[in-house]
Structure 1
Amino acid sequence: MDRRSFLKTSALGGTAAAATTLAAPLYAQGKRTLTMVTAWPRGFAVLDDAATYLNNMVNEMSDGSLTIEKKAPGELVGAFEVFDAVSSGQADMYHAADYYFIGQHPGLAYFTAVPFGGTAQELTNWYLHGGGHDLHNQIGEIFNMKMFLAGNSGSQSGGWFRKEINSAADFNGLKFRMPGLGGKVLGKLGASVQNIPGGELYQALSSGALDGLEWVGPFADERAGFQEVAKIYYTAGFHEPGSGLTASVNLDVFNDLTPAQQKIIEYASMATTHTGLAETLANNGAALA
């Protein structure tokens, strides 16, 4: 079986790109606007920062001929609905972490992070020079999407807890938020693993609906305010050594863009990856202190 056939047969059914009528793009005097749905609440450090940077870069590099209209969760679709929205054409593109969508295809985990996997630099090396981008697009084609790495949070922290964790046994019965393959590992330890959108985490932790959560790292976590409702923070994490973010464009929409517009999205995504990682690393120390 060749690699493309394997990727297609690995796709988990139910949510693969059912063709629907594409949302009509906005045209005005030769200008085009793409609707981008995101998995991030407005103002969230690192993640919405990356989506905003990508948005602004595309707008500025195209000199206004191609613009992005960014929508937060709930403004068009929910945080975990962005993949299907772009696949079906309800939205033109999304910005999210692809490990949210391992139910659609398990291989998508590798484009965010896998436990004890690649660091941010190693992920970027593989993606740009080791065939990673090609694999990402082969999966994307199954769902009618063109994929780009567009952000990286660096190594993520172990998370916030309402009680100390002294052994693996302490995870048994713990209500903990961790998406992706890391969450499956904690599930094997007996944790009740939750995948809750970022905008709902503060309330869930403060109310006791969660016993703990992992989010990103000191810079993003401080802005989210988790230190106000949980006093135990473990900075070392096994689950995400260097977490990539994805910008995905509906393939029909992408193919309808000019070659120059396609390159703008590609290189704006690359710039977002490097700028986002630098922003995180530059701010983590002060936030942790």
Structure 2
Amino acid sequence: MKRRDFLKGASIAAGAAAAASTLSAPAIASGKRELKMVTTWPKGFPGLGTGAQRFADKVTKASDGQLTVKLYAAGELVPALESFDAVSQGSADMYHGAEYYWQGKHKAFNFFTAVPMGLTANEMDAWVQHGGGQELWDELSAEFNVKGLMCGNTGVQMGGWFNKEINSLEDYKGLKIRMPGLGGEVLRRIGASAITLPGGEIFPSLQSGAIDATEWVGPWNDLAFGFYKVTKYYYWPGFHEPGSTLAAGVNKGVWDSLTPSQQTLIQECARSENNEMYAEYNARNAAALDTLLNKHGVQLRQFSNDVLNAIGGASGEVVGEVGDVDPLGAKIYNSFINFRKNVIPYAKISERAYADARNLPFKYSK
């Protein structure tokens, strides 16, 4: 899912541009400081918007009010996709969003959210925290006067909703599917007609036949959008976003002006939300999938290895092109790819092997 498309409609609010001019630097009074945080999410949007609010509340509570983070949803002060510029230029102090929204600034930002056939949520945490990813992220975002922190994850996403079964690559030929960004480019290379639609237009487009298929996030958010009402084939796994990391970005000048203890507090609150959102998505997705299958009659299907193999090859081409933009992009790409190569053998004999073992038909519950 590229959530930015859903947000376009919500973010273009009347007077947003004028409201942006009212933003100011952090208010400092009696040793207390207010930080204005803009987001790319509609107000109260499940998982994404509520997670951003939870992060803001954590910082406020953990600092005992010394730092107050006031959240502004998409369009309340600036349009969603202007959040990065607002923080970069200092008219806002923080943002909560997804780094691949800023690929127009530099394509390597994709690596700090998700790339097709890339790293899972756990592996993203490992690369950023212990594989040199944070240092590279700091180098990239510093060029835009921003400090980035991991602050949420949706986990591996679903492969999408289809009005027919996908049994071979031929079934993708001419298929009109809503999938923006790098994932959409991958599908174009195997013959699909990938298009971009804001979230609010997906359901009516499926209903009218304007599109044949779509992806969004996963069972929790997909159930809320009601896709099961117009199509029943629900495919797994999602190749395009295997572990979508969300981010809190802080204006670099603001970040440098904070005390070491305040920086640590914000880092730990972001780390906490990164873990909590991932846990919430896993819990909610499991319950929602059960509802989709057993209440609404959705038919779960797995992509064949032949289809996934072709998608994987196209993904490698597309991701490699992202790493060709400049020397810094190449450095980030090489770090990411090398980490991916190194982590796959262990994943094969650890989590993947355990999941396969747990699915064997032995009796476990009473």
**TM-score surpassing 0.5?**
yes
1:9 counterpart residue number: none
Superposition map of 1:89-100 within 5 A: 89-100=90-101
1:217 counterpart residue number: 218
Tell me how far apart the structure 1 counterparts of residues 22 and 233 of structure 2 sit (CA, whole Å).
49
The answer (yes or no) to whether the contact 2:119–2:242 under 8 Å persists in 1 is: yes
Q: Give the C-alpha shift of residue 265 in structure 1.
A: 1.3
Alignment-mate amino acid for residue 234 of structure 2: Y
Tell me how far apart the structure 1 counterparts of residues 87 and 180 of structure 2 sit (CA, whole Å).
21
Q: CA distance change for structure 1 residues 169 and 102 in 2, over 3 Å: closer, same or farther?
A: farther
SS at match of 1:138: helix
Superposition map of 1:1-289 within 5 A: 23-198=24-199, 201-202=202-203, 205-206=206-207, 210-289=211-290
Cα deviation per residue 1:85-132 (whole Å; 9 max; x = unaligned)? 222223221111112222211111111112221111111011111111
Alignment-mate amino acid for residue 259 of structure 1: P
Q: CA distance change for structure 1 residues 267 and 254 in 2, over 3 Å: closer, same or farther?
A: same
The answer (yes or no) to whether the contact 1:96–1:245 under 8 Å persists in 2 is: yes
| Aligned alpha-carbon RMSD (Å) | 2.5
Q: CA distance change for structure 1 residues 175 and 51 in 2, over 3 Å: closer, same or farther?
A: farther
Tell me how far apart the structure 2 counterparts of residues 209 and 168 of structure 1 sit (CA, whole Å).
21
Q: CA distance change for structure 1 residues 246 and 166 in 2, over 3 Å: closer, same or farther?
A: same
Alignment-mate amino acid for residue 247 of structure 1: A
Tell me how far apart the structure 1 counterparts of residues 37 and 236 of structure 2 sit (CA, whole Å).
32
SS at match of 2:149: strand
Q: Give the C-alpha shift of residue 135 in structure 1.
A: 0.7
2:9 counterpart residue number: none
Tell me how far apart the structure 1 counterparts of residues 237 and 40 of structure 2 sit (CA, whole Å).
25
Cα deviation per residue 1:206-234 (whole Å; 9 max; x = unaligned)? 56554433222112222343334443321
Tell me how far apart the structure 2 counterparts of residues 76 and 229 of structure 1 sit (CA, whole Å).
36
1:8 counterpart residue number: none
Tell me how far apart the structure 1 counterparts of residues 205 and 262 of structure 2 sit (CA, whole Å).
41
Q: CA distance change for structure 1 residues 137 and 247 in 2, over 3 Å: closer, same or farther?
A: same
Q: Alignment length, in residue pairs?
A: 270
* Higher helix residue share: 2
Tell me which moved more, 42-51 or 191-200: 191-200
Alignment-mate amino acid for residue 243 of structure 1: S
Q: CA distance change for structure 1 residues 199 and 40 in 2, over 3 Å: closer, same or farther?
A: farther
Tell me how far apart the structure 1 counterparts of residues 252 and 60 of structure 2 sit (CA, whole Å).
20
Tell me how far apart the structure 1 counterparts of residues 31 and 196 of structure 2 sit (CA, whole Å).
42
- TM score, norm. by length of structure 2: 0.67
Q: Which runs of 5+ in 2 are unaligned?
A: 1-20, 291-366
Q: Sequence identity, in percent?
A: 52
Q: CA distance change for structure 1 residues 107 and 209 in 2, over 3 Å: closer, same or farther?
A: same
SS at match of 2:286: helix
SS at match of 2:186: helix
Tell me how far apart the structure 2 counterparts of residues 58 and 271 of structure 1 sit (CA, whole Å).
10
> Greater relative contact order: 1 or 2 (C-alpha under 8 angstroms, separation 6 or more)?
1
Q: CA distance change for structure 1 residues 234 and 146 in 2, over 3 Å: closer, same or farther?
A: same
1:5 counterpart residue number: none
Q: Give the C-alpha shift of residue 185 in structure 1.
A: 0.6
Tell me how far apart the structure 2 counterparts of residues 176 and 150 of structure 1 sit (CA, whole Å).
29
Q: CA distance change for structure 1 residues 228 and 101 in 2, over 3 Å: closer, same or farther?
A: farther
The answer (yes or no) to whether the contact 2:25–2:92 under 8 Å persists in 1 is: no
